[in-house]
Structure 1
Amino acid sequence: MLDVIKNRRSIRSYTDKDVEENKIIEILKAAMQAPSSKNSQPWEFVIVDDKDILNELSKVQHRAKHIKEAPICLAVLGNKDRFLKAGKWMQDLGASTENLLLEATNQGLASCWTGVFPKNKVVNKVKVALDLPENLVPYALISIGYSNEKNKYIDRFDKNKVYRNKVKNE
């Protein structure tokens, strides 16, 4: 598992190869295994593979352009009916999204997280593009496909960001 964590990268360039349905299901299973406050499991997902909708989602914000080139995009949504504690759903969906990204890597796929929430303008564009009901809040868009880029491991460990017991200001 550590190899998957170390090798996960945001990839924005994909081949034309379709993503197999069984891999999509495994990715969603991993996303739904995430911890959640009070076991609320406030997540829902939309699998987008329609080219017109992918193109529309690529225009919701300036950092989403790559979505139109991906074979699929998973929209990560929060279900308001399952928001049991104020503000906790965002942490829950963050954990779910990270599981999703890691399983995509584990499945030999590339992915990229595009943030949606809390920017109301972007949230509303996604709601319209996906024709979402009022109780579903767009949290993130995850493009997924086979990489067109060479992935290179980058060691991000920085011992200067780690403290024992207390942060010391010197």
Structure 2
Amino acid sequence: MLEVIRNRRSIRKYNNKKVEEEKVKEILKAAMQAPSSKNSSPWEFIIVDDKNLIENLSKTHHRAKHINGSQVCIVVLGNKERFIKAGKWIQDLGACTQNLLLEAVNQGLASCWVGVFPKNKRVEYVRSILNLPNKFVPYALIPLGYSDEKVEFIDKFDESKIHRNLYKGV
């Protein structure tokens, strides 16, 4: 598992190889294993593989253009009917999305977390593109594909960010 964590990168260039359904299913299984407040599991997903919809989702904001090159885009949604404690769903969906990204690496796929929530303009744009009922809150877009970039390990460990017991300043 540590190798998967170390090899996860935000990849924005994908080739044209089709993403297998069974890999998408395994990715979603991993996403749903995330912890959630009071076991509420407030997430739902839309698998988008229609090229026109993918192109429209790539227009969500200026940092989403690369979605257009992906074969599949998973839309991570919060379901308001399962928001038990105010604000906890945001953490729940964060954990869920991280699981999704890690399993994508495990499946040999590339991905990139494209934020939607909390920007109202982005939320409403995605809601309109997908004709979502109000009970769903678009949280993130995760394009999936086979990488057209070289993935290299980048050591992000920084011992200066580790503190014991009490914070004593720098």
User: TM-score with structure 1 length normalisation?
Assistant: 0.99
The alpha-carbon deviation at position 166 of structure 1 amounts to 1.6
Counterpart-to-counterpart distance in 2, 1:140 and 1:103: 16
Match in the other structure for 1:153: 153
Give the superposed CA RMSD.
0.5
Match in the other structure for 1:2: 2
Counterpart-to-counterpart distance in 2, 1:8 and 1:131: 32
Task: In structure 2, list runs of 5 or more residues that go unmatched.
Answer: none
Residues 1:17 and 2:21 are matched in the alignment? no
Percent of aligned pairs with the same amino acid: 66
Task: In structure 1, list runs of 5 or more residues that go unmatched.
Answer: none
1:13-51 deviation line (CA, Å, top 9, x unaligned) = 000001000000000000000000000000000000111
User: TM-score with structure 2 length normalisation?
Assistant: 0.99
Residues 1:97 and 2:97 are matched in the alignment? yes
Counterpart-to-counterpart distance in 2, 1:67 and 1:121: 18
Match in the other structure for 1:56: 56
Residues 1:82 and 2:82 are matched in the alignment? yes
Aligned pairs for 1:115-130 within 5 A? 115-130=115-130
Counterpart-to-counterpart distance in 2, 1:64 and 1:90: 20
Counterpart-to-counterpart distance in 2, 1:75 and 1:90: 15
Displaced runs of 4 or more, over 3 A: none
Match in the other structure for 1:44: 44
Counterpart-to-counterpart distance in 2, 1:78 and 1:35: 14
